[in-house]
Structure 1
Amino acid sequence: MESLDPILERLITIKRPSRPLPLSTRLMWTALAALVYIVMTITPLWGIPRVQPSGPLYNIFYNPLVSTIFGTTYGTWAQLGIGPIVVAGIVLEILQFSGLLPFDLEDKKDRLRFSAFQKLLALIMAAGETAASIAMGAFGHLTPLQALAVFIQLIAATQIVILLDDMIAKGWGFGGSAINLVILLSVTRTFFVDLFSWNLPSVPGVNAADYPAMQLPLGFLPALAVAIYNTIHGAAPSIADLVFRQLPPPYGTSLPDIVSFAATLALAYVIVYIEQMHVNIPAAYTQYWGIRINIPLRFMYVSVIPIIFTAYSLILAEQIVAGFATLTGGISPALALLLTAMMPARILSPDYIVLHILLYAALATVFAWLWGQIGGIGPDEYAKNLVESGLHVPGFRQSEKIVARVLRRPINTLILLSGMIAGTLAALGDIFGVWGSGIGLILLVEIGLGYYMQILQEGLMEVYPGLRRVIGQ
């Protein structure tokens, strides 16, 4: 990889601040990063025709669920979102922990090379995705000049996102990464629309006059206000029409209603409760004889990565199956049911419910296990961190292999359980029509809790600076 140093050294980067910044300053820079990304989501790409997007790439990369996860907005500078950074990071993590890359992350220079290589790979992936989107007509018909303009704009947009991520990661901002910030903004935007939008719902091929649910505003609060007013004055649509706003087949579209509002609150509470659960592992300091502590392992040991993989895999599989059905000119009832079960929807059919939950739970469990083995979060890596911190499990020698053997059973169990529970909760969220989808709600709660706990910790450190020195020791 040293042969790439001339290229890696020329990548635009952000320098670390000369001294640690106070929490208020870091929050200010984080807010600025959020503002920059919000502006990107409303800045249209120059050169693309204003046509309805279509094509297989659009269906995969700009699916509403993928857009929520990766923060993409079609036809804007946020067209690619954080997708290139996330995919590049996951690919490099897998390759590194599989021993296929020559980086020694214990060495400072190699850590810098690894970080720079991730930025370079993200730019390469952005270029490839943009070129493929243009070639497959995701932007409609473009002249060579328009295609070049779109390509340059999206590469520049990806570079901006990389710099925002670099800025936050190097201590200017808060939260450790712009990835969490963009996901939080994306899911929050969906919640904001579902809660406050005054626009009337619009579904292609549906006459709003035929469905009372379509005659109320899209947002829950405006719809509730209109429904209460109509109920008081004996008009329609009333509160009864807001309880369950579901269009019948073949549309199947669900709109924000009382059921989805209650389901969102209930599932959010369940996720918060589970996120606070821990499994304690007894440990002791090697240097200080007799001092014992409990190391809390999160019950949801790994959840975000598996459900992201699950959602993306199901969307990709759905497009492949749909394409196959188009080529063959037909589809069997069993395959049609499987195709429907792959997509998040509020469908109260026993077949769909069972199959959707099984698909999500099984895939999330498989991806959780794979990520636990190659993502650097397994018992071997955890044992290494414990030993390097001067800790050991009481009753056992201070050896990485012995500690790893002790931790293998609880950690592997938590990996499997957390994947299965995350997949099941995500599927249940889809079935009950929670806002932002089940996966979006899990991401929102996890990232929000992470920010909340970090703000509390940073605030405590500023009030009591001595705690930082104690923890540092």
Structure 2
Amino acid sequence: MALSDILTSLPSVAKPDRRLGFKEKIKWTAITLIVFYILGEVTLFGLQKGPTGNIFGELQIILASQFGTLITLGIGPIVRSSIIIQLLSGAGVLKFDMKSPEGKATYMGAQKVLAIAFTLFEGGILVYSGQLPVDPGLASSIGVGSANFLLLFQILLGGIIIIYLDEIVSKWGFGSGISLFIAAGVSMEIAWRALSPLIDIGGKAAWIGQGPLIGAIPNFVSKFEFIRSPSLAVGQNDMLAVTATIIVFVVTMYAQSIKVEVPISYGRIAGFARRYPLPFIYASNMPVIFISALIANLRFWVAILQNSGVSFLGTIDSSGIAHGPIRYILPYGTLAKDVILGLPVNVLHGVVYFSVLVLGSILFSKLWVSVSGMDAASLSDKLSEAGMQIPGFRSDPRVIEKILNRYVPYLTVMGGAFVGALSAGADFTGALGSGTGILLTVGIIYHLYEEIAREQVLEMHPAIRSFIGEGGVF
């Protein structure tokens, strides 16, 4: 049996055998989201009680991870497997015919196998390196080896569930599981850090005790009468983070609405003409997801190497703060606050982080457009199959491709650079939920809104499907 046959025969979520209605898609999306939240509340059985270090640090929220639970690795393995497959495909090492069902199935199978392998590998490293210590009582009763294996099995189980939840959303719901889980995690984090009335006591939430309130807004209100300096108020009460969150939200919404419109007409109906919108952020938020996952992976390996006595890439202390070279590619969340308060600013850190996000986003933007069928050639085929053509030209996909090539390559690069720069700039503000997290969430919700609106139109006016098709080129 060939490798491609094995990959296509892997268990997968079946596609619906009928067109799903709006309510049914909403139902499956909601069910998947509820299951994801439940997984994040289930602590690994056999894990040592008490606080555990977070190896992903501030990047945990972007990975939709809850360290020490069934979703300890979050979407990390899925994203990393996708990066590897894309790089190998782009280099010509692996070849997938994304236009055929068999080629798509082989691609998805390869990504699934690699994601499971990453889950097993990274979970094993976390368990056997001591990042996830076993409970001493359990270890003494069943043995350290068995206790470690039990932890690893739960991480693997959680990782596999995440993989299939992503597939369920992609086929039965709205959007993708990866995007949905990121948006859910960031939204919860923003609500918690902005509005929580609980007290922060040594990193733990409590109703009674001495300490600042967790929510930035309640904390600001409670201390307002004691504040004399506006700049001190910003520094002490984190209202800068709340303000930055609003600004990042507005700027991202505006950027999502920028489009380049290409005139097209429907060849089968005279006089039917419209404009096909090409979004400025052409590759959406996928480039930032990929580069953030790559940075999180590097932080992961720095922590593992540190446990082995290797620290040439840097170190991470018990509070999760990075030191050494690795810190320069990690978010610089206090830059704006340091400038406002007149504190020393690490310019090199800001420049390096900004450059890494911009260049990395450009690279992954080009890769994503290539493998996801968003390039000019693939898009022209879809438009041509839907009966579309460029006004004033004969109906030929090559003509459409030529026109699209005036825009798509440039939007790919400029959109990737812009989204990387916006993400880095948002991170500098120390916005709630991280600047990158807000950027991703706004983009995800915006595209989700567009997809839901389109689905409602199709359900209300079924005749429109004969023009735009089930796949939907608009």
CA contact (8 A) 1:338 1:355 kept: no
Q: CA deviation at 1:195?
A: 1.6
Aligned to 1:452: 449
Q: For 2:275, which of 294, 300, 306 is the aligned residue? A: 294
Q: CA deviation at 1:276?
A: 0.7
CA contact (8 A) 2:424 2:435 kept: yes
SS in 2 for 1:311: helix
TM-score scaled by structure 1? 0.80
SS in 2 for 1:409: coil
Letter in 1 for 2:41: I
Residue-by-residue CA offset, 1:291-350 (whole Å, 9 max, x unaligned): 43311100111241222233344455667889799746999xxx9698446433112327
SS in 1 for 2:265: strand
The count of residues paired between Structure 1 and Structure 2 equals 437
Residue-by-residue CA offset, 1:378-409 (whole Å, 9 max, x unaligned): 32332333333333334555544454333223
Where does the alignment leave 5 or more consecutive residues of structure 2 unmatched? 204-209, 316-322, 340-344
**379-388 or 393-402, which deviates more:** 393-402
Matches within 5 A, 1:363-382: 363-373=360-370, 375-382=372-379
Q: CA deviation at 1:98?
A: 5.3
Q: For 1:392, which of 384, 389, 393 is the aligned residue? A: 389
Q: CA deviation at 1:203?
A: 6.3
Matches within 5 A, 1:109-188: 109-140=102-133, 143-171=144-172, 174-188=173-187
Identity %: 24
| Structure 2: distance between partners of 1:17 and 1:317 | 39
Aligned to 2:354: 357
Letter in 2 for 1:156: L
| Structure 2: distance between partners of 1:48 and 1:330 | 27
Indicate how the Cα distance of structure 1 residues 346 and 166 shifts in structure 2: closer, same or farther if over 3 A, else same. same
Where does the alignment leave 5 or more consecutive residues of structure 1 unmatched? 205-213, 247-255
Indicate how the Cα distance of structure 1 residues 308 and 165 shifts in structure 2: closer, same or farther if over 3 A, else same. closer
CA contact (8 A) 1:227 1:242 kept: no
SS in 1 for 2:62: helix
| Structure 2: distance between partners of 1:73 and 1:186 | 9
Q: Name the Cα RMSD after superposition.
A: 3.4
Indicate how the Cα distance of structure 1 residues 374 and 39 shifts in structure 2: closer, same or farther if over 3 A, else same. closer
Aligned to 2:320: none
Matches within 5 A, 1:177-326: 177-201=176-200, 215-228=211-224, 231=225, 236=226, 243-245=233-235, 257-288=238-269, 291-315=272-296
| Structure 2: distance between partners of 1:374 and 1:191 | 33
SS in 1 for 2:281: coil
**449-458 or 279-288, which deviates more:** 279-288
| Structure 1: distance between partners of 2:88 and 2:326 | 32
Indicate how the Cα distance of structure 1 residues 180 and 203 shifts in structure 2: closer, same or farther if over 3 A, else same. same
Q: CA deviation at 1:47?
A: 1.7
Matches within 5 A, 1:10-49: 11=11, 13-49=12-48
Residue-by-residue CA offset, 1:125-155 (whole Å, 9 max, x unaligned): 2112212222322213671111111122122
Indicate how the Cα distance of structure 1 residues 318 and 176 shifts in structure 2: closer, same or farther if over 3 A, else same. closer
Aligned to 2:318: none
| Structure 2: distance between partners of 1:223 and 1:380 | 54
| Structure 2: distance between partners of 1:328 and 1:267 | 35
Higher relative contact order (CA 8 A, sep 6+): 2
| Structure 1: distance between partners of 2:411 and 2:441 | 21
Residue-by-residue CA offset, 1:183-225 (whole Å, 9 max, x unaligned): 1111112112112223334568xxxxxxxxx943120232144
| Structure 2: distance between partners of 1:155 and 1:341 | 29
Indicate how the Cα distance of structure 1 residues 64 and 89 shifts in structure 2: closer, same or farther if over 3 A, else same. same
CA contact (8 A) 1:286 1:392 kept: yes
| Structure 1: distance between partners of 2:63 and 2:219 | 29
CA contact (8 A) 1:278 1:296 kept: yes
**314-323 or 260-269, which deviates more:** 314-323
TM-score scaled by structure 2? 0.80
**91-100 or 287-296, which deviates more:** 91-100
